[in-house]
Amino acid sequence: MIIRSRFTQLTVYHEQYDSPLLQSILMSPDAYLVDTGYQKLYKHDRTTSVVLVAGDNQKFVIKRYNTKDLWHIIRRSVRSSRAAICWRRAYRFMDIGITTAPPVAMIEKRFGPLRGRSYYITEHVNGTLCIDYLSDIADADHVIGGIKRIFSNMLAHHVSHGDMKAANLLVTNKQVVLLDLDAAKEHKTVSRAARAYRRDRSRFLRNWNPQSSLHLRLDKEIPNLED
């Protein structure tokens, strides 16, 4: 892991991804968030901008955490950046056996000890959104098994995702990959972990009609604390 700390920027990245493209992104990440810089725009709103960038036989997803106003900038300047939090969460989830998009780099714009805008960069994962893949229940067994493992691991290790919609799960090579860890948390008490788990489980099941065969199957397979 390479760490570069300057007065105006902290950069952390994995040397295995080092390339002219990555170095260019690390030098000027905002240049890749304008219309001419990215291959695909996933999201752009007041809180985040997410783009796909390709080159050097690599594909990276850049997520920029936007600042809303002056008060937001001031509050965030003395806290851990959202990119740093997401970087740590990705490793925590991988440690407990949950597959997520491999972290490549994180960037914090700084003014000495004060933090500004931040960026989280991952490897691009090719796959099909879970909600689309599960439209054919005849081929769903391995995917449902992967979903069950994700929920079981979160429950066992007292972590939660916080935004467990089907759009945040990707099916690739018969693996289920969990995306968007911005709202993920590790809970210090069993009761808080249990409440968060119930919310995650309920949010995930709301993706399907309660009377559908797929909803009933998932409700049966995903561990339920009420059992």
Give residue-wise pLDDT tens across range 142-169.
Answer: 889 999 999 999 999 999 999 999 999 9
**In this structure, are 111 and 132 located in the same domain?**
no
**In this structure, are 156 and 214 located in the same domain?**
yes
Cβ density class 150-162: b for 16+ within 10 Å, e for less:
bbebbbebbbbbb
**In this structure, are 118 and 141 located in the same domain?**
no
The pTM (predicted TM-score) of the whole model is 0.88
Cα–Cα distance list, 41 to 110, 169, 182, 184, 199 (Å): 26, 18, 18, 23, 29
The residue among 81, 97, 123 that closes a domain is 123
Give residue-wise pLDDT tens across range 163-200.
Answer: 999 999 999 887 899 999 999 999 999 999 999 999 99
Residue 226 maps to a domain: no
Q: Is residue 1 within 8 Å of residue 12, measured between CB atoms?
A: yes
Nearest to 6 by CA among 107, 84, 112: 112
Cα–Cα distance list, 12 to 6, 27, 86 (Å): 12, 12, 13
Domain hosting 138: range is 128-221
Give residue-wise pLDDT tens across range 61-76.
Answer: 999 998 765 455 555 5
125: pLDDT strictly greater than 50: yes
The residue among 82, 106, 123 that closes a domain is 123
* Mean model confidence pLDDT for the chain: 89
